[in-house]
Amino acid sequence: MSLREYDRKRRFDSTPEPRSEDSAVDGGRPIFVVQLHHASRRHYDFRLQVGDTLKSWACPKGPSYDPNVKRLAVEVEDHPISYAKFQGDIPADAYGGGHVDTFDSGVWSTPYDPEAQLEKGHLRFELFGTRLKGSWHLVRSGKAARQPQWFLMHDKDAYASDVEADDLLDARMIASTKAAAGRSGGAKEVAATLDKRKRKKVPVAGHRATRAAELAAAAEGARKGRPSAEFFKPELARLRENPPAGEQWLHEVKWDGYRILATVFKGNVELWSRNALSWTDKIPDIRQAVESLGLDSARLDGELIALDAQGQSDFNALQKTLSGEANAPLAYMLFDVPYLEGRDLSATPLHARKAILQALLEDAPAHLSYSSHVVGNGAQVFAMASAQKLEGILSKRVDSGYRAGRGDDWLKIKRVESDEFAVVGYTAPKGGRHGFGALLLARPASDGGWHFIGQVGSGFSHAQLRDLSRTLATGGSSKPSVRNPQDAPRAVKWIEPTAVAEVNYRGIGNQGLLRQPSLKAMRPDKTPADLRDSDRAAPTPAPAPAKGRAARRKASAPEPGGVTLTHPERVVYPAEGYTKQDVADYYRAVMDWFLPGVLNRPTSVIRFPDGIDKPSFFQKHIPSGGLKHVGSVKLKEETGAAAVYLYPESAESVMELVQYGTLEFHPWGAKVDTPDLADRVVFDLDPGPDVGWERVVAAARLVRKLLADLGLQSFLRTTGGKGLHVVVPLNPPSDWATVKQFAQGFASALAGTHPLEFVAVSTKSVRNRKIFVDYLRNGRGATAVASYSLRGRPGAPVAVPLRWDELGRISSGAQFDIRSAPARLKRLRNDPWAGIDEVGQSLENVIGKLGGD
């Protein structure tokens, strides 16, 4: 419903309710509000911000924490955002006449698209208020009614109890209910019971920290300390190119988010950014999660991240959630505890502090996670993080204490080359762009000034362009604010450095300027002054261009089908010496086997233009300049917007993508002419640490058997990595919702039946010694590596289809490589996946066997 319906029902010359045109979205996180409304019939108004309006339901009896209770919620017209602050009396003769109290308010989140869920009729969400907390559901009734009817239910989580909304009324709300008795239907009966009703408190998601406190008291180096609610300075890391070797180092994932420090004093939680700004009110979900630990005093250190629908970390989703553009769940990845329950642990060795932290987080709320680590094997850990496209790793001395400031005990090794720079100016917009064209960037100079390093004009969202045009790229001067203005473009506006931008780039060019910079994020948690405490050495300019004979060696090499291969001598796999020419030769050699798996399928590619030891690029859309031989199709994305996707439509398509540095091909499980129908289901068996290959083999055989029990034939593929793919063809195809429901149900059933072997969630802290059954590749837009695709990993491994009877002879998921895979194909008499497209099977009769919802 639009706000026109809201306006139509009200006479604003008599009602104090806010007008819709006076409502504005403040840019914060999506809010909720529940109002106790003494109208003709007493009820609770339940409202959730979705976009720029409050979706609203009238709930006669109010929310209940009892998961077995379904509360009727009648959908009413959308309300303006400003209605969340409304309290008072609506005239008796006006629409909704009666008194309105605010029962509760706060922020809310959901891992999925809220509008899509509402349209489907089932919204899953979390509330972070004072009275209402935990996980909830809104489910639309199938009953025909003048106004759509829904049911509001609490989930079976740590907050579940017998508490009702009326149990949580304060004195003011009780007085309002009594005053309304006789005027409001139902209020008289409720008012008569309020004095007799036993007062109850908001349920507490309790957690006992006894074991962690005992470990802290007995820890080496622990001493009595005075608790405090004040900010404490964090330990910082230095940047290094390579991870350190040896067992004296442990290695953690470098989480891509915001550093958050938590203090607990007399049970009260305060949250801080790394530069001492209070974030307590910005992230009430994290505050509540820390409160649930039941601590009296503590200091915690970690990273705030956002999770996408697949449970993966997403920095863009984090920024959008904090600004109100998205509504992703947040998680606090904890990696240190320098103080706990009266004990100062700053002198306690890191390995002991982490053991205490792990004990503290056992059975902790989902919003708190333990950042696990690996001792030793730094190079392998970094290679694994790079293969998984993570930002990098943090390497820390096992026996080090917790020391404020930057030192050599903590090192960070980044996969993507990026850095933070001060914004010192901007250029004028061009074409159809508004506000500014690019931001001018600088890094600290040795004399205390600023040194111009380049400009960034790509990577900005529409909201960022709008906001920065209003707040940053305004005014300015022709007087330079840097030491080397001659390196900057002409006709720019210079400003004093007040903001910090984090930028991805591909090295430093001959002029000492960033190459191919793209905005990663604006960093409101940092100031230009922070950049003088640098964690990295100055970037090294690129070498001068080759001349003479060296340049002639880079002459273009012709390829069949009109595709020209440039720089064929460029080394792609440094350890093995394989070149771009070797990559092209490989794909030509396997083309007849490779092409059917990607032909006419939307395909994401991973490009390694400078080799696998340099930054890679994930690409699924056709570049603005277009490609000559690669197909393009306009497809609707989850946001509702349309984008042009690429897809191979011939051997020339593949070779053109290879020319542009592509190593890996990841197709959809659908064709471009039927993008909403899936003809493949892929189960990725991803072993966690300490899982032997024999267990992966046994897992694949078990999955095959269970699928066969459901009447489904499956096929097998190595991934070129650690695991195996079990692939189920569908003919006729199924819609994505059905496929995802089946894949999730199968994985969950497998994990529930074999909890010591399998896990069906992607949270890394629960995947040790288990096999993750990754079903998340089975959604619209999700991809899986193609058969015979190279992988951008050391050794040039290849994803290879197998016959099931070959599995016992395979020693790893990366057994075949750029040399052995073509040799294998020459020996094969028959395709291991022969007949996969002719298998007639569907999911129509399978969902019920898994108990789909």
pLDDT at 555: 33
One domain for residues 380 and 462: no
**Of 52-56, 682-686, 759-763, 772-776, where does mean pLDDT reach its minimum?**
759-763
- State whether 243 and 379 are in the same domain: yes
416 pLDDT tier (thresholds 50, 70, 90): low
| CB contact at 8 A, 556 and 535 | no
Three-class DSSP category at 150: strand
Q: How far is the C-alpha of 749 from the C-alpha of 62, rounded, in Å?
A: 35
Q: Would you state the pLDDT for residue 26? A: 62
Q: Quick one: 365 and 400 in the same domain?
A: yes
Domain that holds residue 74: 3-194
State yes or no: pLDDT of 849 exceeds 70. no
Q: How confident is the model at residue 200 (pLDDT cuts 50, 70, 90)?
A: confident
The whole-number pLDDT of residue 851 equals 45
Write the pLDDT tens digit of every residue in 456-478. 999 898 888 988 998 998 889 99
* Judgement on whether residues 660 and 681 belong to the same structural domain of the protein: no
- Mean of pLDDT values over 500-509: 81
Q: Would 537 be classed as within a structural domain?
A: no
Residues 301 and 261 sit within 8 Å (Cβ to Cβ): yes
Residues 433 and 407 in one domain: no
> 156-161 contacts: CB < 8 A, separation 24 or more?
156/67, 157/205, 158/134, 158/205, 158/206, 158/292, 158/365, 159/65, 159/133, 159/134, 159/135, 159/203, 159/204, 159/205, 160/65, 160/66, 160/67, 160/134, 160/203, 161/65, 161/66, 161/203
Confidence band of 452 (pLDDT split at 50, 70, 90): very high
Contacts of 70 (CB under 8 A, 6+ apart): 151, 152, 153
pLDDT tens column, 512-534: 788 778 998 899 888 898 888 76
pLDDT at 763: 62
Residue 846 — very low, low, confident or very high, per pLDDT cuts 50/70/90?
Answer: confident
Q: Are residues 654 and 696 in the same domain?
A: no
Query: Does a structural domain hold residue 539?
Result: no
pLDDT recorded at residue 446? 77
The pLDDT score that the predictor gives to residue 549 is 28
Q: Would 184 be classed as within a structural domain? A: yes
Q: Which residues contact 404 (CB under 8 A, 6 or more apart)?
A: 232, 233, 234, 235
Domain-ending residue, one of 160, 194, 228: 194
Q: How far apart are CA 776 and CA 610, in angstroms?
A: 30
Residue 302 β-bridge partners:
260, 334
To the nearest whole number, what is the mean pLDDT of the chain? Answer: 87
Question: Does residue 311 carry a pLDDT above 70?
Answer: no
Contact partners, residue 736, CB within 8 Å, separation at least 6: 670, 676, 677, 678, 778, 779, 780
Q: Is there a single domain that holds both residue 561 and residue 501?
A: no
> What proportion of the chain, given as a percentage, has pLDDT over 90?
58
CA triple 91-97-103, angle to 5 deg: 115
Q: Kind and range of the H or E element at 503? A: strand 500-504
Per-residue confidence (pLDDT) for residue 538, from 0 to 100: 44
Binned at pLDDT 50, 70 and 90, residue 726 comes out as: very high
State mean pLDDT over 376-381. Answer: 86
CA atoms within 13 A on the CB side of 502: 17
Domain count, the chain: 5
Q: Which of 194, 225, 243 is the last residue of a domain?
A: 194
pLDDT of residue 313: 76
Under the banding of pLDDT at 50, 70 and 90, the label for residue 658 is very high
pLDDT at residue 226, rounded to an integer: 92
Please check whether residues 168 and 152 belong to one and the same domain.
yes
- Digit-coded pLDDT (tens) for 248-283: 999 998 988 999 999 999 999 999 999 899 999 999
pLDDT for residue 14 is more than 60: yes
The yes-or-no verdict on residue 367 having pLDDT over 70 is: yes
Report pLDDT digits (tens) over 41-52: 899 999 999 988
Instruction: Using pLDDT thresholds of 50, 70 and 90, give the confidence band for residue 206.
Output: low
Q: Assess whether 390 and 429 both reside in one domain.
A: no
Q: What is the pLDDT of residues 222-249, one digit of tens each?
A: 999 999 999 999 999 998 888 999 999 9
Give residue-wise pLDDT tens across range 552-575.
223 334 444 568 888 889 999 999
Query: Cβ–Cβ contacts within 10 Å for residue 233, how many?
Result: 12
Whether residue 235 lies inside any domain: the answer is yes
Tokens of 511: 């002029």
Q: Is residue 203 part of a domain?
A: no
Outline where DSSP puts E strands in 670-829. Answer: 677-687, 715-718, 724-735, 758-759, 771-774, 801-802
Say if 314 falls within a structural domain. yes
Q: Which helix (H) or strand (E) holds 99?
A: strand 98-109
**At which of 633, 667, 701 does a domain end?**
667
Does residue 54 have a pLDDT over 60?
yes
Looking at per-residue confidence, does 203 or 608 come out higher? Answer: 608
Between 122 and 321, name the one with better pLDDT. Answer: 122
pTM (global) more than 0.75 = no
Residues 478 and 410 in one domain: no
Over residues 93-103, the pLDDT tens digits come to: 999 999 999 99
Three-class SS state of 781: coil
Q: Is the pLDDT of residue 543 over 80?
A: no
Domain-located, residue 201? no
pLDDT at 24: 62
The Cα angle at residue 736 between residues 730 and 741, in degrees rounded to 5 = 90
Q: Give the list of residues 6+ apart from residue 637 with CB closer than 8 angstroms, or none.
A: 643, 781
CB 718 within 8 A of CB 815: yes
Highest mean pLDDT among 435-439, 542-546, 798-802: 798-802
CATH code at 771? 3.90.920.10
Place 385 in a pLDDT band, splitting at 50, 70 and 90.
Answer: confident
Q: What is the pLDDT, as a whole number, of residue 23?
A: 64
Q: How many CB atoms lie within 10 A of CB 133?
A: 25
Domain at 479, CATH number:
2.40.50.140
Which active-site residues does the annotation give? Answer: 254
Q: Are residues 76 and 108 in the same domain?
A: yes
> Is residue 783's pLDDT more than 60?
yes
Shared domain for 788 and 763, answered yes or no, is yes
pLDDT at 451: 93
**49 assigned to some structural domain:** yes
pLDDT of residue 207: 67
